[in-house]
Amino acid sequence: MTVDRVSFIALMAISIYGVVSALLMPLGKTQEPGPGFFPLILSGILFFLSTLGIFLSFMVKGKVFQGKSFWGDLRAPIKILLSYGLSIALFEPVGYVFASVILLGLLFWWVSGTTLWKALLFAAIGSLGSYVLFVNFLRIPLPRGIFGFF
């Protein structure tokens, strides 16, 4: 399977979702277009383009989609996304300071390879420093979380 074919199949799936979603909305008439009118036109065009893309991918040889050689070393990006996801999930429940300590600590230790103690120290300094900068100087309201402070 070529890279182009994979991408256009994904786009076709999105376009089908778009067509179905638009058909569930009131379409209106050309004199008075409804909320589904524009999304339906766009999904239709996207469907046409993705069909064309899939068709062309059979006509010409393209780069072949191969796991690791295509994606490169995925360990660091996945670790970053997981750490980021965890801190987003905790952002409101535990507050900014704790969520950012977790984020920075994980990134310094897990992704950057710093020792655990150093990572925690950097994370604490970064988190508290940024809290002072954002909340005290820039007056940006940040969540305090269940602990009620910071």
Partner 1 sequence: MEVFFGIGKGLLVAMEPSNILFCFVGVLLGTMVGVLPGVGPVAGISILLPVTFGMQPVSAIIMLAGIYYGAMYGGSTTSILMRIPGEAASVVTCLDGYEMSRKGRAGAALFIAAWGSFIGGNISVLGIAFLAPALARFAIKFGPSEMFTVMLLALVLLSYLGSGSPLKTLSMLILGLFLGTVGMDTMTGYMRMTYGFRELADGIGFIPVAMGLFGISEILMASQEKQIREVIRPKLKDLLPTKEEFNRSLGPIFRGSVVGFLIGLLPGAAHIIASFTSYALEKKLAKNPHEFGTGRIEGVAGPETSNNAAAGGAMIPFLSLGIPPGPAIAIMMVALLIHGIQPGPLLITEQPDLFWGVVSSMYIGNLILIILNVPLVGLFVNLLRVPFRFLFPLILTICLVGIYSMKASQLDLWILLVSGAVGFILRRFAFDLAPLVMALLLGPMMEDSFRQSLMMSGGDLRIFFHSGISFVLLVLSGLIIISEVLHFLVDRGRRNRMENFNHC
| Contacts (CB under 8 A) with partner 1, residues 14-73 | 14, 18, 21, 25-26, 29-39, 42-43, 45-46, 49-50, 52-53, 56, 59-61, 70-73
Alpha helix segments (H runs only) across 33-148: 37-59, 67-71, 75-94, 96-106, 116-131
What phi, psi does 148 have (nearest 5°)?
Answer: 80, -5
78, 58 Cβ separation under 8 angstroms? no
Which secondary structure element, helix H or strand E, spans residue 71, and what is its range? helix 67-71
76 touches partner 1 by CB under 8 A: yes
Task: Using CB under 8 A, list all residues that contact partner 1.
Answer: 3-4, 6-8, 11, 14, 18, 21, 25-26, 29-39, 42-43, 45-46, 49-50, 52-53, 56, 59-61, 70-74, 76-77, 80-81, 84-85, 87-88, 91-92, 96, 100, 103-104, 107-108, 111-114, 122, 126-127, 130, 134, 138-143
